[in-house]
Amino acid sequence: MKHLILESSYYRELQKDYTRYLERLGYDEITARSLPSLVREFFYYLERNNIGDIQKVSPRDIREYYHYLKERPNSRREGTLSESMISTHIWAIRILMNWLQAEGRIDANPLSMLRFPKPRHKEREVLTRKEIQSLYEGCGDYFDRSIINLFYGCGLRKSEGQDLNVKDLDFSNKLLYVRSGKGKRRRVVPVAEKVAADLKAYYHYERPQRLRKSKNPHKQKQQAFMLNRWGERLSGSVLWRALRRIVRDAGIKDPHRITLHSLRHSIATHLLEIGLGVEQVRDFLGHSYLETTQIYTRVNKSISDNNDK
């Protein structure tokens, strides 16, 4: 569904205006690119149903589009769209309509009185300490260990690991700086001695080998900490494949449940297990609200209850 072509110049221009609006608000690059693509599909749907003006969109049209999304095939895998993806589509349209109403480009917001079911979130996947140890044993080099160290040992989000630069690591003081986390928030992450040693070994011994293969080594030298085999900043797909390989070599059962984010969930739970305060874990993870971190206390209790049975 990525390559839907809008026939109407009216909707093409409206999509461009929406993109510029998101950029002015300061949305991150990924969001400012993905939300307009979701809105494009909505515009395409309106064109197919002969609704040539956004002013004419009614609450009934929105409800029918919601049901269309529930039945639409998923272009990336078998089956239909997930609940969370449908919710993101509706969120993109809600931002659009709120903006158009504020600008006076529509008289009434067709979404103002509509409520849709919230997606049910899967229970957070938490690895055992033994599984984490197996992951480290499945690492073939310091590059592999750095992946586990960044996303488990430092609790980074995927985007934070990708955006990490050399200047963001202070090996002397064992600190890692997240310059722009979720919501553009900054934080300082304390790095355990063994984690710092692994990251330092990668930086001194393996990163230079990768850097030599870069087409622009001088620029890269000042930027990305984690490099792919061609000396460029790691992409999400390379990270995913590297983790899959580490998990496979670790011989862990049901490997598909392990993601970069499950490593982050795991370190949060394990820190609470050893008695670290919820506020400290919140700061470590970079959560805005204590309530978000408190979810892990319930996960931790659930695991403990199951272990007691």
Structure tokens that stand for 251 in this block: 């011989």
261 part of the active site: yes
296 part of the active site: yes
Residues listed for the chain: 309
Q: Contact at 8 Å (CB) between 267 and 153? A: yes
- State the maximum Cα–Cα separation within the chain, in Å, rounded to a whole number: 64
The active-site residue out of 11, 65, 152, 296 is 296
The active-site residue out of 182, 187, 244, 245 is 182
93-102: which pairs have CB atoms within 8 A and are 24 or more residues apart? 93/38, 93/39, 93/42, 93/62, 93/65, 95/22, 95/35, 96/18, 96/39, 96/42, 99/18, 99/21, 100/54
Q: Contact at 8 Å (CB) between 135 and 148? A: yes
182 part of the active site: yes
The active-site residue out of 264, 265, 270, 282 is 264
Which amino acid makes up residue 134? Answer: S
204 part of the active site: no
Q: How many CB atoms lie within 10 A of CB 126?
A: 20
Taking the alpha carbons of 169, 154, 185, 83 in that order, is the dihedral positive or negative? positive
185 part of the active site: no
Structure tokens that stand for 126 in this block: 């938490």
The active-site residue out of 157, 179, 200, 221 is 157
The active-site residue out of 40, 145, 265, 287 is 287
The active-site residue out of 179, 187, 233, 261 is 261
Structure tokens that stand for 150 in this block: 């960044």
287 part of the active site: yes
Helices 290-308 and 260-273 pack at an angle, to 10 degrees, of 80
Active site residues: 157, 182, 261, 264, 287, 296
